[in-house]
């Protein structure tokens, strides 16, 4: 991957959004460009996963994105030294097992490629 040395700008971004981005990047301790890139990547991922949900027999649909975010949240908390309650751990494992079974069965038109 090559690094683009030519600067670029985005027109049409309001001063309020520019200020908010600067504030949030500063809070995160990262440069504005890195913050914007992360936000764009998250938006693209969200758009790609938008509407992709699995129907689990007799249960409400589970969004692949929601499952991924739930497990990611638990991993982040555990990485920060927070003790994860056993019930939350069991729920996460159960959720992953149900999503995995549904993906393997092909329910909802998904394959292993679509999983997070």
pLDDT of 29 reads 92
- pLDDT higher than threshold 60 for residue 114: no
Counts of helices then strands in the chain (DSSP H, E): 4, 2
Token pair of 71 as six digits: 């497990």
Query: For 57-84, what is each residue's pLDDT tens digit?
Result: 555 556 677 777 888 888 888 888 888 8
pLDDT of 1 reads 45
pLDDT of 66 reads 75
Query: For 18-71, what is each residue's pLDDT tens digit?
Result: 888 889 889 989 998 888 888 888 888 777 766 555 554 555 556 677 777 888
First-last CA distance in the chain: 24
Domain ranges of the chain: 15-52, 64-105
DSSP string, 19-43: HHHHHHHHHHTS-HHHHHHHHHHHH
């Amino acid at each position: 991957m090559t690094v683009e040395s030519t600067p670029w700008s985005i027109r049409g971004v309001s001063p309020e959004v520019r200020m908010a981005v600067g504030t949030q990047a500063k809070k995160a301790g990262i440069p504005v460009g890195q913050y914007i890139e992360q936000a764009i990547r998250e938006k693209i991922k969200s758009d790609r996963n938008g509407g992709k949900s699995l129907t689990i027999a007799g249960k409400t649909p589970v969004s692949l994105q929601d499952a991924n975010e739930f497990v990611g949240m638990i991993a982040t908390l555990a990485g920060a030294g927070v003790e994860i309650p056993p019930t939350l751990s069991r729920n996460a494992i159960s959720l992953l097992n149900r999503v995995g079974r549904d993906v393997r069965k092909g329910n909802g038109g998904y394959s292993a490629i679509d999983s997070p």
